[in-house]
């Protein structure tokens, strides 16, 4: 198949292109920066320079390439999670407007299947794990609610396509090479510098996914039944358990503790919510349908 990967230079893009090429697919990688295009070419894909926000150029590229499948991995995330609040507006614009251009072009030029990156970590699972039927946390404070609303719009757009098979992959928190959660990643740096505290009881449950496992599931989605899938690991873990274990894994001192009142004064309501209200997600559907076999978390 001829496959167009948008946002192909990110942490997931590298293992995804490799797996697609190994499976014999003709892969085209869309990126904006010259260094990203060089990386795409090195991986054995055809580099395409373009700006997803330029609707005319996106339509021209899709018309020229005529892919069978489009994989939308468009993001505009910062190098450090500490900078996320400043980057959220640009990220939402790229995913909604830029992704909207890509989606419209795919619909216009006969793309058979559209695969969309979604979120598996801002779902509301109530007292248990979130399933594919669980809603997003639209009323959460700060950038959590802002991002959840953006993902909800992406899901609505995806499920509205009249002429394409559509797949939504709700990935967990990425870890692995090139991500925030790796020994040389930005989160590890902040943790080692004593800049990450455990707030309150740390009762949020996190679901991670290694980028290579996410890539495997994405390749499987090329032929899977259309719909939404939670692509997460099988070890949903409380913040209070995984954060100290992660610190030990990278050889860092245990994170300091901060009570909720102090956190509210210093870093705001969103930080308390992030560490104490999130629910993990169930991977059952992806395990059964996408043959997802996530590797165990290295820090547990």
pLDDT score for 163: 87
Question: b/e string for 182-211 if b means 16 or more Cβ within 10 A?
Answer: beebbbbbbbeeeebbbbbebebbbbbbbb
| Pairing between β-strand 237-238 and β-strand 205-206 as defined by DSSP bridges | antiparallel
The pLDDT, as a whole number, for residue 169 is: 98
Q: State residue 161's pLDDT score.
A: 87
Find the length of the chain: 300
Q: The dihedral of CA 256, 261, 267, 269: what is its sign?
A: positive
Q: What is the mean pLDDT of each run of 10 residues along the chain (300 residues)?
A: 92 94 96 90 93 96 97 94 92 96 97 97 96 97 96 95 94 97 97 97 98 98 98 98 98 96 94 97 98 97
**Total-model pTM:** 0.96
Residue 229 φ then ψ, to 5°: -135, 135
Q: What is the DSSP string of 49-83?
A: E--TT-HHHHHHHHHHH--SEEEE------SSGGG
Structure tokens given for 217: 């599931």
What is the Cα Rg of the chain in Å? Answer: 19
The pLDDT value recorded for residue 272 is: 96
- Measured distance CA(227)–CA(277) in Å, rounded: 27
Cα dist from 250 to 181, 193, 240, 253, whole Å = 10, 12, 17, 9
Q: What span, in angstroms and rounded, lies between the C-alpha atoms of 176 and 174?
A: 7
For residues 49 and 36, give the distance between their C-alpha atoms in angstroms, rounded to a whole number: 9
Pairing type for strands 173-175 and 198-199 reads unpaired
Q: What is the pLDDT of residue 177?
A: 96
Range 102-139 burial, b when 16+ CB lie within 10 A, else e: bbebbbebebebbbbbbbbbbbbbeeebbebebebbee
Return the bridge partners of 181, or none.
Answer: 175
- Return the pLDDT at 162: 84
């Amino acid at each position: 198949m001829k496959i167009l990967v948008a946002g192909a230079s990110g942490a997931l893009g590298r293992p995804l292109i490799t797996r697609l090429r190994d499976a014999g697919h003709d892969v085209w990688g869309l990126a904006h920066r010259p260094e990203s295009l060089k990386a795409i070419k090195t991986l054995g894909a055809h580099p395409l320079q373009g700006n997803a926000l330029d609707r005319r150029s996106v339509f021209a590229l899709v018309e020229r390439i005529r892919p069978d499948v489009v994989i939308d991995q468009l993001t505009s995330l910062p190098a450090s999670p500490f900078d996320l609040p400043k980057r959220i507006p640009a990220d939402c614009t790229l995913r909604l407007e830029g992704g909207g251009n890509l989606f419209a072009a795919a619909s216009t030029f006969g793309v058979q299947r559209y695969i969309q990156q979604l979120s598996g970590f801002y779902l509301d699972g109530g007292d248990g794990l979130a399933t594919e039927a669980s809603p997003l946390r639209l009323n959460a404070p700060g950038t959590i609610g802002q991002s959840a609303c953006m993902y909800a719009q992406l899901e609505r757009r995806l499920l509205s396509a009249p002429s394409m098979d559509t797949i939504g992959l709700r990935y967990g928190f990425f870890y692995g090479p090139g991500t925030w959660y790796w020994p040389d990643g930005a989160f590890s740096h902040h943790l080692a510098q004593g800049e990450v505290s455990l707030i309150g009881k740390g009762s949020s449950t996190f679901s991670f996914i290694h980028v290579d496992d996410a890539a495997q599931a994405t390749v499987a989605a090329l032929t899977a039944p259309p719909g939404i899938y939670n692509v997460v690991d099988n070890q949903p873990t409380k913040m209070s358990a995984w954060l100290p274990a992660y610190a030990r894994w990278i050889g860092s001192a245990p994170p300091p503790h901060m009570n909720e009142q102090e956190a509210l004064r210093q870093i705001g309501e969103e930080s308390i919510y992030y560490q104490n209200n999130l629910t993990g997600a169930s991977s059952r559907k992806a395990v059964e349908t996408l043959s997802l076999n996530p590797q165990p978390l290295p820090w547990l």
